[in-house]
Amino acid sequence: MAIILSVNSGSSSVKVSIYKSSKQGQDPIQLADAQISGLTAPPAKLSYQRGSENIKGQEVKDINSNEDACEYILDHLVKDNSLSEISSRDDITYACHRVVHGGDYPTAHVIDEDTYHHLEDLTDLAPLHNTSALAIVKACMKALPKATNIAYFDSSFHATIPEAVRTYAIDPKVAQRNKLRKYGFHGISYAFITRAVAQYLNKPESETSLIALHLGSGASACAIKSGKSLDTSMGLTPLAGLPGATRSGDVDPSLIFHFTHDAGKPSPSSTKEMHISTAEEILNKKSGWKALTGTTDFGEISSSQDPACKLAFEIFVDRLIHFIGSYYVKLEGEVDALVFAGGIGEKGALLRTRIVEKCRCLGFGLDEQTNNNKIEDVVRDIGMEGARYRTLVCQTDEQFEMARQCAAGLEGN
């Protein structure tokens, strides 16, 4: 039996899910789920779920970094006597890590000294995401000497994006030297979505084509043709494309020089490990829903009558249909379904209504009653009967996807 830890380290939270895998080829079984959030707005809070035990939002002291959070969670797992599968840290066989930027890595990679240093070099391309992930990888390599650490990259799923789609119209020599191209992200989630939806539609993944939307704190769209990424809205970094909780998404690239004269200077929030410019700080951390409305909670924005919230909502609708229309054409109308996923995609019934209404001309339609019901299945059809194309909601799970890929790669055990 293998015990698999799946770690998703974000800018303000660390989520860890624990699985056991008894047999190769079988999906891993979740044992527990732990999350420490509020890392950037202390006190940090612990949520923990195992079977019927449920801790929600318990304040935890002296947690000042993602590494502290990971240490705390490891301790919590070992001390939980009812979690008989983990009585010491040595019981953990694999630690899977979500690493947002994987550069040219087309698949997951076991992390050794070499891989680790290569990933450090890539951190400049996605400092806000990779820095915290790598800090945890390092902490786990030390704290779990018996475990194999594996990096799963958000960018790998998009390795199939054709050259003309991934190439920016800039000096090719500089582009090549500095590795400037579209990489795309949320790929672990898109891999989950593609497999889950293909299974739901009872089709092989290689015959499944989707317009998929992963709408969370960071939001992106993906055109999936015959199970493979054809295009996605994020680019060199997760800043491109759709706006997010604190991200601007696409703006005219020269805008930032009119916004501030300090664009190229290091941001005051840079640290020894994380170097970011003032421009990156403004566009990644001080924009998006937070800047427009004061809140990062899109649920609150959706139900508010405040004009700033209504505008933010309409901005999201506008940017989303921009990508849906574009991807519909790129897929030549061969689309099995429009899929909503991520916290906002899964819970935002009103947003789904407005988007699908706008896409009626393409042949999408909603069943309002199903759309408004609480969605518990992994994949739920919310489309109108008789509509040309299906509309689905998929409860994506990045931690599970990593554990599943890890278990699928295990030697018979």
Q: Among Mg ion, ligand UVW, ligand ADP, none, what does residue 100 contact (CB within 5–8 Å per kind)?
A: ligand UVW
| Size, binding site for Mg ion by CB under 5 A | 1
Among the candidate windows 205-213, 214-222, 262-270, 404-412, which touches ligand UVW by CB under 6 A?
214-222
Q: Is 154 a catalytic residue?
A: yes
| Token reading at 317 | 């609708």
Name which of 28 and 218 has its Cβ closer to ligand UVW. 218
Name which of 91 and 397 has its Cβ closer to ligand ADP. 397
Q: Does 344 engage in binding with ligand ADP (CB under 6 A)? A: yes
The three-state DSSP-derived secondary structure of 20-36 is EECCCCCCCEEEEEEEE
DSSP alpha helices (H): ranges in 331-379? Answer: 342-347, 349-358, 368-372
Residue 305 amino acid letter: Q
Of residues 46, 69, 100, 211, which one binds ligand UVW by CB under 6 A?
100
Q: Does 348 engage in binding with ligand ADP (CB under 6 A)? A: yes
Q: 282, 259 in Cβ contact below 8 A?
A: yes
Q: How far apart are CA 225 and CA 330, in angstroms?
A: 9
| Size, binding site for ligand ADP by CB under 6 A | 15
Of residues 342, 380, 383, 392, which one binds ligand ADP by CB under 6 A?
342
Name residue 176's beta-bridge partners: none
Among the candidate windows 88-96, 211-219, 283-291, 378-386, which touches Mg ion by CB under 5 A?
211-219
Q: Does 187 engage in binding with Mg ion (CB under 5 A)? A: no
| Token reading at 209 | 């084509």
Name the catalytic one among 154, 231, 336, 397.
154
Q: How far apart are CA 133 and CA 151, in angstroms?
A: 9
Q: Does 238 engage in binding with ligand UVW (CB under 6 A)? A: yes
Query: What are the backbone dihedrals phi and psi of residue 130, each rounded to the nearest 5 degrees, phi first?
Result: -70, -30
CA gyration radius for the chain?
21
Residue 269 amino acid letter: S
What residue is closest to ligand UVW based on CB? Answer: 218
Q: 119, 134 in Cβ contact below 8 A?
A: yes
Q: Which stretches of the chain bind ligand UVW, using CB under 6 A?
A: 10, 100, 129, 154, 185-186, 216-218, 238
Q: Which stretches of the chain bind ligand ADP, using CB under 6 A?
A: 10, 216-218, 245, 296-299, 302, 342-344, 347-348
